[in-house]
Chain A
Amino acid sequence: MCVAGTRWVQTQLLDKYRQANLRVYAVWFNMMPADSRAKWPPTLLTDSRVVHRWDEPKTLGRWFAPQTPAMRPQLFAGSTWSDGEILWDAYLLYGPDAKWNDTPTGLIHWARTIVAGRDSLRDDFDRLFGSAP
């Protein structure tokens, strides 16, 4: 499912908004039995605005999970998130003024799964960058 979501981000957002002033942080970690660093797909998110990180101990997923109660107002309504211990197959979209002190500010929307939240994410891109050609 993550592969489908990240492929959609590349083809439906990054390929269409080539001039958007944007940075993407793709944080990869094992969640499914077949997952491993060796399975990382280098041809999936190839846009130069994407930074890739491998997170073996799932640090980010574990860090974001307990932040989610405070992020509920920005959660896309169609999401499937039930306060688990690790947030994954998820996106978090922040505005250009966002800063990270104790926690990141400026959250626009987030969703789980990426596929479930793609309509919201596409709408936000249209609003932030103008409709794609």
Chain B
Amino acid sequence: MIISVRALVASTALLVLIGGHIPGLTQGARPTAFAAADLTDLKGVDDLKTLFNRDVGKVRLVLLVSPT
């Protein structure tokens, strides 16, 4: 009986772990929401200027925002 309970606990834990990583398995999961975004320090106006000119040919949207 003890073995059965342990097996049940282990199986449940495994399902929880897998469910958190398989899109659609967990109801309401939005895997894109966990895409890793990277925040780096702006190195002056020239930093944005360089990015801006590197991306000529694309429509560009600048957002000036605070985090709350």
Contacts and interface: CB of A to CB of B under 8 A. Distances in A.
Interface of A: 2-3, 5-6, 9, 20-32, 34-37, 39-43, 45-46, 48, 50-56, 59-61, 63-64, 87-100, 104, 114, 128-129
Q: Interface residues of B: mostly helix, strand, loop or mixed?
A: mixed
Interface of B: 32-42, 44-45, 47-49, 51-53, 55-68
A98 B59 CA distance: 8
Contact of A46 (B33, B47, B57, B59): B33
A32 B66 contact: yes
Contacts of B38: 52
Contacts, number: 156
A105 B30 CA distance: 37
A113 B21 CA distance: 37
B64 A23 contact: no
B65 A26 contact: yes
A2 B62 contact: no
Given A60-B62, A63-B45, A95-B59, 18 more contacts: A2-B68, A20-B59, A23-B60, A24-B61, A26-B63, A27-B65, A29-B64, A31-B66, A37-B67, A39-B68, A45-B37, A52-B39, A55-B42, A89-B65, A92-B64, A93-B61, A100-B49, A100-B52
